[in-house]
Amino acid sequence: MNFPHLVGGGVLHTKFWLVDRKHFYVGSANMDWRSLTQVKEMGVAVYNCSCLAADIGKMFDVYWYLGQKGAQVPPRWPEKYSTLYGKENPMNLTFNNSNTLTYLSSSPPTFCPKGRTVDLDAVLDVIGHAEKFIYVAVMDYYPLTLYTPKIRFWPQIDDALRAAAIEQKVKVRLLVSEWNQTRPSLPYFLRSLTDLTGAYPWVDIKVKYFRVPSTPAQAKIPFARVNHNKYMVTDNAAYVGDYFTNTGGVGIVIRDPMTNFLPVDSGDSEAEDKKDIRDQLEAVFERDWNSAYAHHTMG
């Protein structure tokens, strides 16, 4: 796919596998030996769900169409690429014996046919509907467009987190990677968030840096030994995704329904596997946040 020709820049950064339009994986892992053995990743694997797999299949069809020689983004996508499911009309599905409201988002916006929620809108929607907490785990956190000819201020997500902490009185936690490629500017942007803590009694924003340990031999592997995941979990939703603007990405949003989850027998040996996905993601975040690899300062 010729991204400079299609949208003026960017790359196909999406990572998903689709099998028989019935099973799929979507997440942060690149398909190379480093990503699968030397990098900490996060993904969602969905089995025996032809309805959701068919929807992600439409995303692959968009990519396949745009991968043709000389292809251009159409001014209006044909109806066969459109979807009925998005943030306003999620699928009502059962995952791991739990009722969920689920949809897939995509970027860049020009790759989104009718009905498809844009990744950024999905992220902002999840932030905006949090009631108690927002946990974010990312490799990099910069309110900038870094991979463009000119660095530009890009505050949409940063502003949404500030608004959630101040207006919704939501606890915010950011777990950001510290690795060989971390820019010196990172702590400045993060401090501008954490410095809001205490501005009002309820404002609570904290940041930790996650370091993946390395042996001397591992430290020599380029672009490795990093927490590469990109996900967010709140008290009522989970998001696993990728990039937002000119770069190709796919996200999955899994929201709690208005009704309670189906009960899980705590004595069942498979109870952990049956926990809803939001609970699982929250547990992963808290494990990493409280681990020996998470630090309040860089260095």
Q: Can you give the pLDDT at residue 219?
A: 93
Active site includes 273?
A: no
Residues of the chain with pLDDT under 70: 258-274
Q: Can you give the pLDDT at residue 258?
A: 62
Q: Can you give the pLDDT at residue 264?
A: 38
SS (H, E, C) the chain: CCHHHHHCCCCECCCEEEECCCEEEEECCCCCHHHHHCCECCEEEECCCHHHHHHHHHHHHHHHHHCCCCCCCCCCCCHHHCCCCECCECEEEEECCEEEEEEEEEECHHHCCCCCEEHHHHHHHHHHCCCCEEEEEECCCCCEECCCCCCEECCHHHHHHHHHHHHCCCEEEEEEECCCCCCCCHHHHHHHHHCCCCCCCCCCEEEEEECCCCCHHHHCCCCCCCECCCEEEECCEEEECCCCCCCEEEEEEEECCCCCCCCCCCCCCCHHHHCCHHHHHHHHHHHHHCCCCEECCCC
Domain boundaries, the chain: 3-295
Active site includes 295?
A: no
58, 87, 208, 228: the active-site residue: 228
15, 87, 171, 230: the active-site residue: 15
Active site includes 114?
A: no
Q: Can you give the pLDDT at residue 244?
A: 73
Among the listed residues 292, 295, 258, 254, the one whose alpha carbon sits nearest the alpha carbon of residue 275:
254
Active site includes 5?
A: no
Instruction: Classify domain 3-295 at the CATH superfamily level.
Output: Endonuclease Chain A (3.30.870.10)
